[in-house]
Chains A and B, each alone.
Chain A
């Protein structure tokens, strides 16, 4: 019976991610509007947006290669799988032995490489600009993320995400100095990787500042819908990853129905708090010049390395 529960919780996790990811984006937008004294759009605005885009005709550039048409599905698949790998509702997941933390980072990188390649495919100035900047941000953000995950896996002696959650929730509460550094680094990476202020601004189409928007300029209709959905899935995945490694308490050990029912509201509460924090950071900070971004990310990388060093120095 328990195998069924495991598969059920795995499927549930992915379905919840698909449904909740646009909701999370809506929530962050709502919080941001409130903080900026604006009238907030509805929580379901991203869902409506997706529906609108899906029903529109897709216009594809004549110069596009088949890669461009495949790419939205590939990225969507990558992000869905990423949400399936990260344990949010249960720690006994069938996919957990298939991919550990390093494979998760590899999966996110796979999505990013396809995104950048598709942006270069049309051959417009904006697309290549966006691709270059995206890879530029990524080459520092990705190692920083890996180092954050390594700091945690050195504590729990495992790179498997479910084992990390299991271990952290079953050991006595203690303060790990290395995790403090890792936490700051992770927040910085989260902002950079999800095209948020101070690295990128998801709300503008301004050629001097845009990164993510520049890459998806040529997408329209269902392709754009998939890209937007993937972007919100990515934000969801990062927030869940943060929850997994820094606040894992409340994720049940088994796929037992009762545990699942309890896990859902806990997850929602954590995500809501995370969303508020993102909105706060975005409101309180200003966008960086593009050449200040490497300093920001190098800082995140260094903090993550220091976190790991601290672990080796203090043994915690």
Chain B
């Protein structure tokens, strides 16, 4: 009885969001009502989803049939541990983003808030359907609704041609991906009559077909998740979209790609081959390194975060790849550990990245600037936003005791616990993969210091920043929710890991839940406590105790005055805000070290210029290496095809005649 209610509850959430969306459409002109009533309501529904998700992660698998869909092909739905976990993450993130949206969308902009409300809720409701879909048809249906509504959301500021271009790019790549997925599911369900996942699971594809399915899925879902080289839409679409939408995309729409890969490779496919995992691991590491290096040189705050999302998606894929690798060699416990790390990172990245993105939304609303070179010193004017962003930045840097650290810790543990793979070549790659991951982690801290330092610290680089105002009440509530999520994930990882134990049991037949449960809720232990353990709560308490004791001692033993004065700056008399490091300056060492990662055009001023101009343009090299050649080939092919298009009816009749003759010839033979 209780189980039945859970399924109904999740349906209720989807229907509730749909209803809120339709309400938004009906009340399209009542911006304040939409913002102040509908979005908070949506947050409440999200809360219910998060709760239902975490409860059903521990529950049994439930299946059902929905009376909608094609004739004779109703939607199959199923809630298992994997989809429950993703529903939980979605619920938590959507609650925060909806709360923030209640403040953010309360002003009239290019697109009426009611329409955004409809698109937003259609999008999140379709994600719910996507996560519980149990046949290929329902899955792809939900997938398409999600892509379409997300495109509509990206082009919310459609009056700007750049935004329209970003929307186009997103749409294009999403559909190239969807095209591959169509083939992928076609191959998966080739011998079934209803394309239901239940019958797909009974299939036994051979290695060749299995490999095709796996790589089609990697490509198709990778287009949505943003793996190298399909990440190209991310840095365009994230800055273009309104900030809550960027938050939703980065935190959750990208993760649907991860969900899809897990569903296909570990659930629907009965076999796993080691080199699939190896390739996924390599792509993941390349994506992570590429993403973090490019994010270090960005000057647009949302573009910087978009590249940072690429980095995190890469880390998640690396964890999944490692898990497939271990599973192929029959090391189920290690596979479970690395999958746990990847899935934990899904949650922690969702929490901190949505927090950082909504933070940029408040900055954007209060200053109108996205360019890091024109921001600065906002901590004094926007303390709420700044402290929330500080927590987000620390979590994104992978620092203890916040959420980002736990997933990095688990991932590194799965490398370190490797007793040695049966393949000596792979064994040699383990140190290199580990080195890449720790390098990415250290660079992420660099990026986050740049992000937080340039926006919130220092002196304002523009006069108008002195009038910046802090986020409103609803936005603050949204921040607080997401901050709690970041901190909670960091301090109580054991509870999440125990939920993940059920997921890994479903996908791999093993889990680290027993080791974790044996050591209590305080202590995170992946294997045995002699090998590795981490107690975030104790860590934080002792750290705070050290700080507070130091403070009290200093205050009581040496009680001396504090005086405010101008900055000293080594006694230099003229110091102004323009002398601080800009975003370009802060990224310069990375540009110097990782030169081959970018295409850079630079004009340096000469010493004799009356008005010296320094200009630098950094471009994603994938445009030059991958996309422009493809575009050139496409244009070349279409120009050749164009030769036979003569725009005269007689010529086309001739073509028809020739084709007919040719076919007759073939048949007669």
Partner-B contacts on A (CB < 8 A): 54-63, 65-67, 73-74, 76-78, 80-81, 84, 95, 97-100, 102-103, 106-107, 109-110, 112-113, 116-117, 120-129, 131-133, 135-136, 138-140, 142-143, 146-147, 150, 153-154, 157-160, 163, 205, 207, 217-218, 220-222, 226, 291, 294, 301, 304-305, 308-309, 311-313
- Is B532 touching A222 in the complex (CB atoms < 8 A)? no
**Known contacts A59-B565, A122-B458, A109 near B575 by CB under 8 Å:** no
Complex-state Cα separation, A220 to B560, whole angstroms: 12
Nearest opposing residue in chain B for A205, CB measure? B570
CB distance from A12 to the nearest CB of B (A): 15
Which of B104-112, B278-286, B304-312, B412-420 binds A?
B412-420
| Separation of A73 and B537 alpha carbons in the complex (Å) | 19
Residues of B within 8 A of A220 (CB): 568
Residues of A within 8 A of B561 (CB): 57-58
Partner of B543, one of A63, A81, A146: A81
B442, A142: Cβ atoms closer than 8 Å: yes
Q: Which of B457, B531, B547, B586 contacts A74 (CB 8 A)?
A: B547
Q: Are B564 and A97 in contact (CB under 8 A)?
A: no
Set of chain A residues within 8 Å of B443, measured between Cβ atoms: 139
Secondary structure class of chain B's binding surface, majority of residues: helix
Size category, B interface: 35 or more
A99 in contact with B535 given A77-B546, A123-B377, A139-B443 (CB within 8 Å): yes
Contact sample, A vs B, 14 pairs, CB 8 Å cutoff = A76-B546, A81-B539, A84-B542, A99-B535, A103-B405, A109-B397, A109-B445, A113-B399, A120-B453, A121-B458, A123-B376, A132-B586, A132-B589, A146-B438
Within 8 A of A (CB), among B221-270: none
Inter-chain CA distance A313–B394, complex, in Å, is: 37
> Do B457 and A77 have beta carbons less than 8 Å apart?
no
Given A77-B547, A81-B546, CB of A100 within 8 Å of CB of B534: yes
20 extra interface residue pairs, beta carbon distance < 8 Å, beyond A154-B416, A294-B589: A55-B558, A57-B563, A63-B380, A78-B546, A80-B550, A100-B534, A103-B534, A106-B399, A109-B397, A110-B394, A123-B580, A125-B579, A131-B581, A133-B589, A140-B442, A157-B531, A163-B530, A222-B554, A305-B435, A309-B431
- In the assembled complex, the Cα of A66 lies from the Cα of B438 at a distance in Å of 31
Asked if B653 lies at the interface with its beta carbon under 8 angstroms from chain A, I say: no
> Is the Cβ of B442 less than 8 Å from the Cβ of A139?
yes
**Which chain A positions have C-beta within 8 A of B593?**
294
Contact A143 B397 (CB under 8 A): no
Q: Does B569 contact A (CB under 8 A)?
A: yes
Interface residues of B in 408-458 (CB under 8 A from A): 408-409, 412-413, 415-416, 420, 427-428, 430-432, 434-435, 438-439, 441-443, 445-446, 448-450, 452-454, 457-458
B71 at the interface (CB under 8 A from A): no
B-chain residues with CB within 8 Å of residue A120 when the two chains form the complex: 449, 453-454, 457-458, 580-581
Q: Is B340 an interface residue when CB atoms closer than 8 A count as contact?
A: no
Least CB distance from B382 to A in Å reads 11
A135 in contact with B445 (CB, 8 Å): yes
Q: Taking the complex as formed, is B368 at the interface, i.e. its CB lies under 8 A from any CB of chain A?
A: no
Chain A residues whose C-beta falls within 8 Å of the C-beta of B449 in the assembled complex: 113, 116-117, 120, 131, 135
Residues of A within 8 A of B399 (CB): 106, 109-110, 113
Q: Which residues of A contact B551 (CB under 8 A)?
A: 73
CA distance A110 to B536 in the complex (A): 14
Chain B contacts with A in 561-596, Cβ cutoff 8 A? 561-570, 572, 575, 577, 579-581, 585-586, 588-590, 592-593
Are A125 and B458 in touch, CB under 8 angstroms? no
B400 interface residue per 8 A CB criterion: yes
B379: Cβ under 8 A from any A Cβ: yes
Q: Are B565 and A106 in contact (CB under 8 A)?
A: no
**CB contact under 8 A between A63 and B459, given known A135-B446, A147-B435, A160-B530:** yes
Inter-chain contact B546/A102, CB cutoff 8 Å: no
